[in-house]
Amino acid sequence: RMDQALLLVRNELPALGLKLAALSSSCHQCLYQFLAFVPPSNESLRTPGTASVMVDTQHPLTLLLNSSVGDRDLCKIQYHFGEFGNYSLVVKTLSTSTQTVSCDLIINEGPINSYLPILFAFLVYMGILAILIAGRLLMKIDPVRNWVYKKLNPRATDRMINSELGSPNTTDSINCDPTPQWSTASRRRLHSLDTFRGLSLVIMVFVNYGGGKYWFFKHESWNGKLHFPSALFSRFVFIMGTSIALALGSMLRWGSSKWKVLRKILWRTFVLILLGIIVVNPNYCLGPLSWDNLRIPGVLQRLGFTYLVVAALELLCTRPDSGTWEGRFPALQDILPYWPQWIFILVLEAIWLCLTFLLPVPDCPRGYIGPGGIGDFGKYPNCTGGAAGYIDRLLLGEKHMYQHPSSGVTYQTTMPYDPEGILGTINSIVMAFLGLQAGKITLFYKDQHKQIMSRFVIWGTVMGILSAILTKCSKEEGFIPINKNLWSISYVTTTSCFAFILLLLIYYLVDVKKWWSGAPFLYPGMNSILVYIGHQVFANYFPFKWKMQDSQSHAEHLIQNLTATTLWVVISYILYRRRIFWKI
């Protein structure tokens, strides 16, 4: 199967059976897992004892061979097996006098290079990009442009040329309408925000569709470095906070009362949570949905609640006019006037720290934030997530949580754990608040590009320093490790550091230098709710999914997942061309 290799163990030791166990390098402080018993060799027939096992190829493994008598360690081998490879492990005695045992790993059949489809897909998309760029340059030549005018509808062609490959001139402000509706855009907005949001969304769609079944397009099992998937949701939360600052300021400047804006915030929160519950509980072909197993947390639910808290907090402190603050430190005009917000956020973070590290959890050590299962040498198998998991099980119930956490495969956890649970929502609010700060920077220093970019650099640097302190620049040994499942504060500071830097780069390219229109990520970024819900609802329908010839092929999965993701980009582009945007 994918991500597996065949290992044949040949035992040439007479009268001594072997026990084979393995430990993955991705499993921190885990117990060795038993794989197979290898019988002793048959001296009369002169045939070795053999056993065949499938071994994981995603991460390096440590193989441990013990004797069945006395449980004595005979040999330990560290090796990174290749996908679909065929290997033999030969165990024999080198010297009968000293009983020295040797373990030799032999490659019978070499593995395949499962990463070639990624290279091929990259070259295809780069070719498409080159063709589009060449077309853009040709359209600047007068004879070519005039010829296109004659061949195509002049009116449609004029719109295509003036749009600069899809970069809008006027669009609506951030969605805060009281009801979902189809409307045309009407006001100017920062293209970099839509591009940032669209980039995160497109990668999220690709990952949710399977990411070609590659392990590095999956969420980290527990603690660890940030893979593509692990940082996507946080970027979405970050840019939502940025949009809140721009939207509320715009609405108040246009004369909307705070009570009217609050009603819109409450309605949008309700719709997001309702849509989230519907999306995470698909039951289209399984009959009526049972309320006993309804999952309550989810991505849109967390977005909705985070939006409610951060938008309400900003509404309480924002001013209709965004003039210069006449205080002692004008360079801090985007921070000091909002000191009540900072106190609120610090109190929230103190609550998260106290609950996480001080709340007593039955049968678990206080402050435990591990994965449970076979992690921590199997001492706390039912303590997955520590206080975070305990609070969800206590308030929501086990049946209303996510049943297949990412720690299940590596750490063999049996307890349900929801990565969008209650306690982690506190830090998603912190993440959105940092995005809100980015939005305030763009408001207070409007058209002052150097000021905006320098502050993005400062914030990114500060967040990076905090991350280094919290994690000790280590995967597992820090004060608070980076953990997407827990939404640890180090995860927030690390992802916000990258978010500030990424927003800086996109802002520079799209809004400052205008070297890039933001296409194609601009289009899904302007219809993010539609694309997100649509890709979830139609995930198992043609043309987004079809029956494969070989379900164990990374290439076929990659083709299918990239096709589905590209289709949503095309759909968002068509909607953009027709000036159709679904708003909540």
DSSP state of 261: H
- d(CA 49, CA 277) in angstroms, rounded, equals 55
- d(CA 559, CA 543) in angstroms, rounded, equals 12
Lookup: tokens for 510: 């799209």
For residue 35, the SS3 value is: strand
Lookup: tokens for 179: 């009801």
- Angle between the 299-317 and 528-537 helix axes, to the nearest 10 degrees? 160
For residue 243, which of 176, 321, 169, 333 has the smallest C-alpha distance? 176
Is 506 in contact with 190 (CB distance < 8 Å)?
no
For residue 569, which of 503, 519, 513 has the smallest C-alpha distance? 519
Catalytic residue among 59, 80, 191, 219: 219
Distances (CA, A) of 64 to 34, 54, 71, 98, 280: 9, 15, 11, 21, 41
Is 368 in contact with 386 (CB distance < 8 Å)?
yes
Say how many C-beta atoms besides its own lie within 10 A of residue 482's C-beta. 27
Active site residue 59: no
- d(CA 245, CA 316) in angstroms, rounded, equals 12
Distances (CA, A) of 570 to 334, 396, 423, 467, 559: 38, 39, 37, 38, 16
**Phi, psi dihedral angles at 497 (to 5 degrees):** -60, -50
115: left (phi over 0), alpha (psi -120 to 50) or beta: alpha
Provide CB contacts within 8 A for 219, sequence distance 6+. Answer: 227, 229, 230, 406, 419, 484, 485
Give the residue carrying structure tokens 């070989």.
Answer: 550
Is 23 in contact with 61 (CB distance < 8 Å)?
yes
For the annotated catalytic residues, the residue numbers are: 219
